[in-house]
A and B are shown apart, each in its own frame.
Chain A
């Protein structure tokens, strides 16, 4: 298919662009296969380059022959284009509509994007399971890397290499897989070096209404317990939801069959509910009315902050079980690809200082989200302005980022990265020139040949020039477990994402810059003092030598 077929009018002159808190720009609007471009042809004003993939929905209005298209983006920005001429406007609108809803992944921009920078380190090779297993091996010999899912037939959403207890053979794994939703049998998620406790994740067991059991599954998770120790199973669903799941063949671990485990149910919402929550939140944030009561009631009704609190609380609970109680933990919900991953990844940020570095955080996302089979493509197909019936869209990853931001706010000196990295990841998960977030699992990515045909996000982020933007100037490595407060008073609305386009950030940006400046000046002074001291010491020695000679 040629993009040209979809572009009815490639360019229109005299288009006026309105963006909140920015001056209007008049210029020429161009449509290409992947971008909407508005250029004023003046050096002083900024051009607009918008990926079609970033467009969530559009609206058009006409006043006389002047048409207006309102473009609502997945990064939550809303822009307005005034287009002279009704026909042009209609053409542009339908072209945008068609280009922003392309079904085929292989037509996406990452397959066409050629980087203007030299790829020094190929991000596709930066985080391979073998490497993280090497780290594990250096700490314990209780685990092995299994190739049982080599052809993705046992579990389509798992990667080909999985870390499992050493004593469990592949045959048992196959049986355990048949007992878990989508074949997602329990695998290692995190090894807590301090006390050798582990966190595993899986999907729900397929107990069904007649209470099926699976010896291999029991054996598999019991293999992670030390003698005489017990563990916790954290089910991210309420007991009621878990009970209901039995009717559809799912269920939860029966105490009788798992006597060494204690089950705790939490109440993290399912994805369709979360999508609704996001839509309502963004609507509340964009509400131009200045009524306080209206804002607070809309914020409350969106339930977004409640979701943040629940996810964070569950992650803290998992971390508490491991670090404070000295127990191993198994986390699952229904499919094990959404709430499960939110919990396991956040728990690691709390427990493991390595995850609070840029590199470690990237590795965490690679391990616990991309490799673990979070269906990014489905979940991020639409954002807060989707008006159709949601299919499988859900802000699962965005909620995770929000929770990370909450922890970052409470421990502003414990992270190597700043808020910018989180916002950048949000943007790229929804629309990107890089292939990292395409596809729904490792198997799909392999079929799409992403590593050959697209550039990895990490190849770009990890360039020193880019990294600088994401560095937290206040960072001081700290090896402690960081326990965030989950009181509602301690959890804030993530303004950097949700109010980003609704306010001028100039004052805040400048203040941040001043803070960076103070810290940099400090480093400079330290260096100066050191060099002066050296110089002085040298002179004094020379002086002494001269004196001695005399």
Chain B
């Protein structure tokens, strides 16, 4: 497959020879290494293992590379350390320094595209025609989504005030506001809000007619007020007859909000707004979050990490504390809306980071639709993409400003994962769906997440020039299904009430160590149960076919029982969470998708000659785990080189 890329490579003027041989790939956590050839293409850096029997390939998209580091020369060669945004870390040792330098400088140039046109999405072609592409983009329709919520209605209407992006250029064209909010009020309010992001509807809880609205901070400074903005909040309040007040959630820590007052910004003064209940939530800003993730990754990337250092490092990074803060805020929002029936206005500073997290997660807690595959796409499209979460800046797509990069969206995905752990039957998708979305937020392979706002996306003509991720994900939906998902769970638990006890928040190993195979369970419950489910579907078909044949012989058969009734004995205690291990990928698929990123390097221990690869223990070895130093008088034997090709974590489709 890489040969195809080499063709495209010819078209770009690169000084670097597209191939370097005898490159050593070091394992991140053990002393193991493999030798192979490094290829550089216009879009990928590819490592192909030389050993012909196993021949693993690693494909690294240039957009995924966060940093390239050339370490000081060693006896075996020149080390090159590549850190990726999808938490992959590869350590190459290149025999000749000259080659290393060439790769290094080529990568530096490649991973910092200067214009949008250079992004992979504009050259990526999944061999679809224009019609298919268009259909892909039409999958998600936000107008239909607001209709599903019951909007427009007698209290909420669509406003055309931002049709030309004149009032707020980071908002979408279509916005929903209270019927009573006239254009002058909207425009006035927008002038009093940072970046013009005035209060608009993002979710409508039909049952109680309560609204979730979002905006940015008011430009209140120490004493400024704005009658239109006060009217705007009143209009939101009046549109809900269930509650006399609305909550205003400022998702920042109070100190940050106070500091903003000095810059002429700040927060709502309760004296000026009638019937608001003002609340700080205390989620930290993008810089704190960036630092926190960095610390976390440093800790978990340590070799031979002790339990103490791990737990202390986890605590010091503050990562789980931040995750819990976001979750707490979302729970507060969901309770205010579903229990009190009150409308809530959420903001932070600019209203595109913390606000997006809290609104999206809060809606997901309230509405089972967002826990389905399609619904989750809609949610991301609505609260993140359309409302202008700055994906380009936060994910460092272009023109890097390191101060703008922050794992805000990753945190949202992690919060959802924490929920899937507490409510294994509530979500139609498994964690591999979340990880896959994370992969593509950074891959720049699809158009969805490019740019910082809807307006910018229109200028870039993304819908005409790129493909939609959602169509791609839906086409391989079966890989992302949660086998124990129960639609009836949504009926009995329309609103999720997660526990917020600290001990229920866990480190998301499958995300942050997705490429570190030695860390994972060697057998996956998720994969196994998905296999059973798939097999059940096939068997049901076989039963039908056999019955038809039997009928030809004049035998009548009883209709197939759809499912056995649950046994009525008391429930046994459950073994731990079901969400584990690698995603389902049949061997067939692996072979079809040659561009699979494969990290299956481990030997199956003494595997008997069995073809039943999926059911056996996926590679685990004593040496890899480093139980202790067994050097000295005994030479360590090499691991038998048998490779299972089934660990495709992040899949690239070219």
Asked if A525 meets B566 with Cβ closer than 8 Å, knowing A292-B324, A515-B484, the reply is no
- What chain B residues lie within 8 Å of A414 (beta carbons)? 523, 617
Given A482-B620, A536-B549: A296 in contact with B424 (beta carbons within 8 A): no
- Interface residue count for B (Cβ, 8 Å)? 97
Pairwise interchain contact A496-B634, C-beta atoms closer than 8 A: no
Contact A480 B604 (CB under 8 A): yes
Residues 40-74 of chain A, each 1 if its beta carbon lies under 8 Å from chain B, else 0: 00000000000000000000000000000000000
Chain B residues within an 8 Å CB radius of A121: none
| Given A292-B505, A313-B627, A509:B305 Cβ within 8 A | no
Would you give the 0/1 interface string for B486-522, flagging 1 where the beta carbon is closer than 8 Å to chain A? 1001000000000111111111010001000011111
Smallest beta-carbon distance A291→chain B, Å: 6
In the complex the two chains form, is A411's CB within 8 Å of B550's CB? Answer: no
A-B contact count (CB 8 A): 286
Whether B608 sits at the interface, judged by CB under 8 Å, is yes
Stretch with Cβ within 8 A of A (4 or more), from B372-380, B443-451, B570-578: B570-578
Select one of B483, B535, B632 contacting A515, CB under 8 A.
B483
Contact A503 B499 (CB under 8 A): yes
Is A119 an interface residue when CB atoms closer than 8 A count as contact? no
Contact status B623-A409, CB under 8 Å: no
Chain B 139-151, CB-CB to A under 8 Å as 1, else 0, gives: 0000000000000
Comparing B174-182, B260-268, B539-547, the segment that makes contact with chain A is B539-547
Check if A296 sits within 8 Å of B315, measured CB to CB. yes
Q: How far is the CB of B556 from chain A (nearest CB, A)?
A: 12
Decide if B532 touches A305 in the complex (CB within 8 Å).
Answer: no
Which single member of B522, B525, B617 contacts A474 (CB below 8 Å)? B525
Q: Is A130's beta carbon under 8 Å from chain B?
A: no
The answer to whether B502 and A295 touch across the interface, beta carbons within 8 angstroms, is yes
Binds A, one of B124-132, B306-314, B583-591: B306-314
Known: A413-B528, A525-B539. A509 touches B572 (CB 8 A): yes
Nearest CB on A from B307, distance (A): 4
Please name all residues of chain B whose beta carbon is closer than 8 Å to the beta carbon of A509 when the two chains form the complex: 571-574
Residues from 320 to 375 in A contacting B, C-beta threshold 8 Å: 320-321, 323-325, 327
Question: Is there a chain B Cβ closer than 8 Å to A192's Cβ?
Answer: no
A241 interface contact, C-beta 8 A: no
Q: Is the interface of B mostly helix, strand, loop or mixed?
A: loop
Encode contact with A along B549-575: 1 for CB under 8 Å, 0 otherwise.
110010101001001101000011111
- Flag if B486 contacts A514 (CB, 8 Å): yes
CB <8 Å contact, A413 and B523: yes
Report the Cα distance A168→B627, complex, angstroms: 33
Contact of A324 with B622 in the complex, beta carbons under 8 Å: yes
Chain B CB within 10 A, most for which of A300, A483, A517 = A483
Q: Quick check: is A377 within 8 A (CB to CB) of the other chain?
A: no
- Closest CB of chain B to A324's CB: distance in Å? 5
Alpha-carbon gap, A294 to B501, bound state (A): 11
The one of A308, A413, A492 that contacts B576, using a Cβ cutoff of 8 Å: A492
Within 8 Å by CB of B623, from A324, A514, A532, lies: A324
Q: List 22 A-B contacts (CB under 8 A).
A: A293-B321, A295-B503, A325-B630, A411-B523, A413-B525, A413-B615, A474-B525, A480-B606, A484-B625, A485-B620, A488-B311, A489-B310, A493-B503, A499-B504, A505-B573, A507-B425, A508-B577, A509-B574, A510-B486, A515-B483, A517-B563, A518-B484
Binding site for B on A (CB under 8 A): 194, 230, 262, 264, 266, 284-285, 288-297, 299-300, 303, 305-306, 308-309, 313-314, 316-317, 319-321, 323-325, 327, 408-414, 418-420, 423, 469, 472, 474, 476, 478-493, 495-496, 499-500, 502-505, 507-515, 517-522, 524-526, 528-529, 532-533, 535-536, 539, 543
Q: Can you name 6 extra interface pairs (CB under 8 A) apart from A484-B620, A528-B543, A533-B546?
A: A309-B306, A414-B523, A483-B522, A509-B574, A518-B483, A529-B543
B residues neighboring A (CB under 8 Å): 29, 300, 305-312, 314-315, 318, 320-321, 324, 422-426, 483-484, 486, 489, 499-507, 509, 513, 518-525, 528-529, 532-533, 535-536, 539-540, 542-543, 546-547, 549-550, 553, 555, 557, 560, 563-564, 566, 571-578, 580, 604-608, 615-617, 620-628, 630, 632-634, 636-637
